[in-house]
Structures are given as C-alpha cells and as structure tokens.
Amino acid sequence: MFTSLSTLQPRQLELTSVYTTIVNPKIASNLIKALNCLDDLPLPHLKRIRRSRTNQGDVLEAILFPTSVDRKTVLDFLCKINDSEWIIKTVQVSKLAPVLRSEFEQWKGYWPMSFYERSDLIDELDPADQDYANKWCQKLQDLMPKSCTNMAIIVHPETQEIMALGYDNRHHHPLKHAVMNAIEQVAVKEVQDRDLKVVKKKRALDEPNYGYLCTGLEIFIYQEPCVMCSMALVHSRIKRLFFLKKNISNGGITSKYNLSMHKNLNHHFKSYVKDD
Ligand SMILES: [Zn+2]
C-alpha cells in the first residue's frame, strides 16, 4: 500500500492595493465590459464587482486598477463610461490566485475571487494505481543487486517501457546517486535519438511541460531521494515518484523541505511511500 506525501503547503496571503469605486447598477455592465476590453486585465483571479454594505444599504463596488496606475488615468477611464462624479477608494486584495481550497477560503474575505479545484492535486491512488506501483516496486527489488544501496527505475507509464535504470555509484563519484544516474541515462537516450533522427513516440505532448527530460515519466526508487536528487526531479519535470524507504536524515520529500510540493518551486509532482 502506497501513501501520498504530496501535500501542497498553503502560501502566505500577499496583499496588494487596488482602486475601487461604487458603481450605479444601471451602468455596472458597461463598466465591466470596458474593463474586460483592457489588453492586460489586472488581477484576473478577482471578480470585478462585489456587493458592499454601507449605511445607505447595499451597493455595488467595482475593482478598477492597481494603485500603481496613475489616478488621472483611472478617472479618464471612468469618465468615458459616464461623466458622473466618480469616487475612488483604495482597497487591499489578494495578489495571488488561490490554488488550494484553504487559500481560497482565507483570501476571498478581502475581495471575491474565482477558484477552480485542480484534480491533479487530489492524490489518493486508486486500486489499479496501487497495483501498478506494487508491480514496479517489486521489479525494482528483483533487479537491485544485493551490493547496491539504492536504485532507481524511470518508467514510461503509458507504454510500460523502462527508460532508465540508475544504480547508486557514489563510491566512484560523490554526485553519482541512483536518481542522477537514471536521469543522465534519459538524457543520453534523448541525444542518441536526436542523432539517429528517431521519430519519438509523442510522449505526453498534452502535458504543459513537454520538452523537459522526464515530462510524463515516473520514477521508482528504493531509498527516498536526497535533496540534490529531489531537485533534479523537479528540474527534469518528473510526473510521479514512488519509493520504498524513507530517508529521514537527508530526504528531499519527507524532510521539512518537501521539494515535490514546495510552494516556491515552479514544478510539483506527487510522491508516494510504501507503508512498512
Ligand atoms: Zn541523491
């Protein structure tokens, strides 16, 4: 049974200032249309209009521009919609679009925002995936020499092809960890394919990171990758990681770094550990 370790950490709320104005409901749609025609809609994750409670009752308040925009530009924009007296206010809103539901629940209090739950962040393995992971981890143990302390297999999940077998060779060179050796093999194959002008199976063309060494590929490792190897997996855009033993002292996933889902890194991948 494999357990997920891929819990994305919620980010700190980052606030930014925007200009807003109270808008007459009769011209609210004109204002939204004009804002939507802007080449660069500011803070697109925010709803353009919210209902605000005042002493005079509920009013509509529209978000206009970041406060970095000149105030006169804002007024000129409003006067083109209607030449009434516009009153501009400054309001603090979330600068970032929420990725996690907990972020959304916390940040929407500043200004209403859109939120789309990403199915790729829901990471429980279904029974078929558990069988798939068990099969490859068994294969890994069958192939791993007794003298070897760690080994990695990189697999193409759709074709079930072994793309690389990496053995730990750090007694020859300090950087020759199992993961580094496996990624290097993928790179060597890539170069050979290019030299031979092999028309490659269109691996994961639909994935956003197509073009990186391990886009769409999955890795099975005996020992949890260290920090260096975890970063190599981030850089090469691995799809998923499975390992059998935790590396408590120097692991890149179960340690405080949690590099597979680190909030400041630009690639995230799901990782799973086999229960003892
Ligand atoms: Zn390593």
Q: What is the DSSP string of the chain?
A: -EEE---PPPPPP-EEEEEEEEE-GGGHHHHHHHHHTSSS-SSTTB-SEEEEEETTEEEEEEEEEETTS-HHHHHHHHHHH--S---EEEEEEESSPP-SHHHHHHHTTTS-B-----GGG--PPPHHHHHHHHHHHHHHHHHS-TT-S-EEEEEETTTTEEEEEEE--TTT-TT--HHHHHHHHHHHHHHHHHHTT-----TTTTSTTBTBTTTT-EEEEEEPPBHHHHHHHHHTT-SEEEEEE--TTTBSSSSTT-GGG-TTSS---EEEEE--
For 74-113, write each residue's pLDDT tens digit: 899 899 888 878 889 999 999 988 877 888 999 999 999 9
Q: Is the pLDDT of residue 153 over 90?
A: yes
Ligand 1 center to 261 CA (angstroms)? 18
Residues belonging to the chain: 276
Strand order in the sheet with 57-66: 49-54, 57-66, 15-23, 88-94
| Token reading at 233 | 């997996």
Ligand 1 center to 177 CA (angstroms)? 5
Q: Is the pLDDT of residue 15 over 80?
A: yes
Q: How confident is the model at residue 191 (pLDDT cuts 50, 70, 90)?
A: confident
Q: What is the pLDDT of residue 145?
A: 93
Between CA 141 and CA 134 the distance in angstroms is 11
Q: Is the pLDDT of residue 264 over 50?
A: yes
Q: How far is CA 190 from the centre of its chain?
A: 25
Between CA 240 and CA 133 the distance in angstroms is 11
Ligand 1 center to 167 CA (angstroms)? 11
Ligand 1 center to 4 CA (angstroms)? 20
Q: What is the pLDDT of residue 207?
A: 52
Q: Where along the chain do the CATH 3.40.140.10 domains lie?
A: 125-274
In this prediction, residues 198-206 reach a mean pLDDT of 53
For 26-76, write each residue's pLDDT tens digit: 888 888 888 888 777 778 889 999 998 888 788 999 998 899 989 999 899
Q: What is the pLDDT of residue 228?
A: 95
| SS3 letters across 76-125 | HHHHHHCCCCCCEEEEEEECCCCCCHHHHHHHCCCCCECCCCCHHHCCCC
CATH architecture classification, 125-274: 3-Layer(aba) Sandwich (3.40)
Q: Is the pLDDT of residue 200 over 60?
A: no
Ligand 1 center to 114 CA (angstroms)? 40
Q: Where along the chain do the CATH 3.30.70.240 domains lie?
A: 15-118
Ligand 1 center to 3 CA (angstroms)? 21
Ligand 1 center to 273 CA (angstroms)? 16
Q: For residue 27, what is the enclosing H or E element?
A: none
In this prediction, residues 129-140 reach a mean pLDDT of 94
Q: Which residue would you say has higher pLDDT here, 100 or 178?
A: 178
Q: Say whether 16 sits in a helix, a strand or coil.
A: strand
Q: Is the pLDDT of residue 201 over 70?
A: no
Ligand 1 center to 227 CA (angstroms)? 7
Ligand 1 center to 251 CA (angstroms)? 8
Mean pLDDT, the chain, as a whole number? 86
Q: Name, of 81-85, 121-125, 133-137, the range with top average pLDDT.
A: 133-137
Ligand 1 center to 116 CA (angstroms)? 35
Ligand 1 center to 226 CA (angstroms)? 4
Q: What is the reported pTM? A: 0.59
Q: What is the pLDDT of residue 87?
A: 87
Ligand 1 center to 168 CA (angstroms)? 9
Ligand 1 center to 142 CA (angstroms)? 21
Ligand 1 center to 217 CA (angstroms)? 18
Q: Is the pLDDT of residue 18 over 70?
A: yes
In this prediction, residues 8-24 reach a mean pLDDT of 87
Between CA 254 and CA 130 the distance in angstroms is 20
For 208-249, write each residue's pLDDT tens digit: 555 689 999 999 999 999 999 999 999 999 999 999 998 888
Ligand 1 center to 188 CA (angstroms)? 19
CATH top-level class of 15-118: alpha beta
Q: How confident is the model at residue 205 (pLDDT cuts 50, 70, 90)?
A: very low
| Token reading at 15 | 């606030």
Task: For residue 8, report the phi and psi dihedrals to the nearest 5 degrees.
Answer: -70, 135
Ligand 1 center to 125 CA (angstroms)? 25
Ligand 1 center to 219 CA (angstroms)? 13
Contact, 86 vs 76, CB < 8 A?
A: no
Ligand 1 center to 136 CA (angstroms)? 20
Ligand 1 center to 184 CA (angstroms)? 13
